[in-house]
Structure 1
Amino acid sequence: DEPVRPDRLAAYLASSGHFMIVALADGIVVGQCAAVIHRHPDKVSELYIDEVGVAPAFQRQGIATKMLDVMFELGREHGCKEAWVGTEPRNVSARALYEARKEPHGPAEDFVMHVYRL
């Protein structure tokens, strides 16, 4: 989205239940996966996959799949019983990545999102 700011990264990583995984090639970040545990008073905890991205030159090499594998395991270790992720209908590569997961899942759901400026 934007360049990573050290102060924002530090605040993100200091927050309980926030996770970030990076993929490196020759010491350079080429992929990132970020997730947050949502704890609820009325249902099981869930892992929200917030961001998955891989630099274009490194796509289709299994990097995103591996980052999701690790992130899902982190979710399990922290008591999450399910994970969820959203993407735009036209993002064919992301949809293919998510639909190919080995974990049991249903078909993609319709989703409406509202963004509010605060």
Structure 2
Amino acid sequence: MDIRPATTVAELLAAAHLYDAPPRPGWAARFLAAGGHLLLIAYVDGVPAGFVSGIEMLHPDKGTEMCLYELAVDERYRRRGIGRALTRALAAEARERGCYGMWVGVERGNEPALATYRSAGAADDGGFTMLTWEFGTAR
């Protein structure tokens, strides 16, 4: 397994089978151009087997932390430690960038995700409720 940051639109599009919906080239370009955005892809025999994306979040009184935005592993490659390796790679990158911590929101019943994050060193800090606003379709 080889984990490396995606640096081109072509790399992001080649991992399309891992996303929730088909990626758009324009959005992929914007993602890569945005400061603090990172997407690491795990390759097995040259094939994208999983990815993790992170976004640096900066606040005037706290400094910078990394939000683990999304983790996905192709079903064919699950239960091989790829999710844990991707999570650890993102955490290492966050440390290297000077982030003081990293966090992820996980649905309470998502046991596979919880187990993956815990195996990569994350700890539950208590209850968490996420509220959302829906603004319609993506542009």
CA offset digits 1:8-59 (Å, max 9, x no partner): 1111011111000011223321201000000101112110000000011101
Whole-angstrom distance in 1 between the partners of 2:105 and 2:126: 9
| Partner SS, residue 45 of structure 1 | strand
Please name the residue that 2:26 is paired with: 7
Please name the residue that 2:39 is paired with: 20
Whole-angstrom distance in 2 between the partners of 1:13 and 1:80: 19
- Please tell me the residue identity of whatever aligns with 2:33: A
Aligned pairs for 1:88-99 within 5 A: 88-99=107-118
Deviates further, 87-96 or 21-30: 21-30
May I ask how many residue pairs the two structures share in their alignment?
Answer: 117
Whole-angstrom distance in 2 between the partners of 1:21 and 1:11: 16
**Structure 2 residue runs without a partner (length 5+):** 1-19
TM-score, normalised relative to structure 1? 0.89
| Partner SS, residue 46 of structure 1 | strand
Please name the residue that 1:51 is paired with: 70
Aligned pairs for 1:103-118 within 5 A: 105-117=123-135
**Structure 1 residue runs without a partner (length 5+):** none
Please name the residue that 2:95 is paired with: 76
- Please tell me the residue identity of whatever aligns with 2:37: H
